[in-house]
Amino acid sequence: MAHPVPFTFSQGLPAGSIGPVPESELTPSFGYRGTRFATGAIRFHDEARVTQYSHSINLNAQTSYKGWFFEAGVISTLGRQAPFAGVDINQIRVADFPKLAQGVSELTLRPWQQFTGSAPTVTVDNPNWGLSNAWLGTFKVEKRYSNGLGVSVAYTYTAWIDNIPTVGNTASGDNDGVQDIYNRAGERSRSTMTIPHRLVLAPIWDLPFGRGRHWGRQWHPVLNAVAGGWQVATIGTLRAGSPFGVDVLNGARTLLLDSSGRTLRPNLVSSELLSARKGQPLQSGNRGLEWLNPAAFAAPAPFTLGNASRTLPGVYGPGSKQFDLMVAKNFQVRENWRAQFRWEMFNFTNTPAFDLPAQTVGTGAFGWVTSAGARRIMQLGMKLYW
């Protein structure tokens, strides 16, 4: 219960401040302007909300030839009724934008005007508006471990379309929420979860030196302890970048006079969305890499929506390359006892993994890649087998 008199916590809560709301006031007008419990933020679950479901398809063909194993397959997951994040449905309709331009109060143009504040939010939690179509093509070649050598190579191609924004998730490159809840078909685009190409290489090799191996079968125990029993393995992962979307800095507030927090996307004024020097160091004296072409993006005219899709067509973020290396030395202590010393290096080439470029039109760094992750990590270990 609201209390008009300021107080400090040392005084304790005012009497009745956390008491139950009288049933006589739990009417359909609860929370409206002019009532004791007026509010500007409403959240609810849709009573018609249904359970999400998906269809899965998995088709694989396998064969082997002279110690080599081959596999090709198609995998698909078709998601339906997938949940969005919470969405404010108290948006002004596009057809009413001209009235905003004429100075009509935005409050009078919202579907729900009875709550407090100039931009009261009516948020439906996790509405089942989501559609997701993911298709993966896979190919794998494997040489089963034999004679001290094993190799595995796996490639995956992904095509993924959905209409589900991940609001606030700049890591996935989709920090632009729903632009127009009355046109949810306009949210359909390539998913930010798409990794169009991914290649994994995983060889393991017992070096052919030492007792029981091709060279050094009769080595002296001291020489064998130093130069024999070595093993090398690596896992290399090469992946293409993922799609991402862009928005306009304070666009809805400044260009639509809509303070509800909706997203405004830019207009695409050129088909050359990528910089001609994509991936090259900035020439402005700032640290970073060029990626997008700022001249291809423009803020839309006042009281209009941008024509950019949720993720940019034909545009991907930086890919990544990582190789992890393991060097091991095996010691045969006794017939049933074996020790292994391991030196493991993650990202042993120390190759940076660049983050997505800045995605907000109107900021000074728009289109630049200014940060990166990944670093070399090494660890030593000892294993004992018996």
Which of the pair, 367 or 336, is modelled with greater confidence? 367
| Cβ neighbour number for residue 264 with a 10 Å cutoff | 25
Give the model's pLDDT for residue 170: 43
Domains in the chain: boundaries: 46-385
**What is the distance between the alpha carbons of residues 204 and 196, in angstroms, rounded to a whole number?**
27
Confidence of residue 171 (pLDDT cuts 50, 70, 90): very low
| Mean pLDDT of the region 10-31 | 81
Burial of 28 per CB tally in 10 Å (0-12, 13-18, 19+): exposed
190 three-state secondary structure = strand
Please check the confidence at residue 252 and state whether its pLDDT lies above 90: no
How are beta strands 130-146 and 189-190 bridged, if at all?
unpaired
Q: Note the pTM of the prediction, 2 decimals.
A: 0.82
What DSSP string runs through 88-111? Answer: E--PPPGGGHHHHHTT--GGGGSS
89: Cβ contacts below 8 Å, ≥ 6 apart: 111, 122, 123, 124, 181
Give the model's pLDDT for residue 314: 93
Phi-psi region of 226 (alpha: psi -120 to 50; beta: other; left: phi over 0): alpha
Does an H or E element contain 342, and which?
strand 337-346
Confidence of residue 144 (pLDDT cuts 50, 70, 90): confident
Which of the pair, 214 or 369, is modelled with greater confidence? 369
pLDDT in tens, 318-348: 999 999 999 999 887 777 788 889 999 999 9
pLDDT in tens, 174-233: 445 788 989 989 999 999 999 999 999 999 998 887 777 767 667 777 777 777 788 999
Give the model's pLDDT for residue 335: 72
pLDDT in tens, 27-71: 888 889 888 888 888 888 888 888 999 999 999 999 999 889 999
Q: Are 39 and 32 in contact (CB under 8 A)?
A: no
* φ, ψ dihedrals at 339, nearest 5°: -115, 150
| Mean pLDDT of the region 89-98 | 90
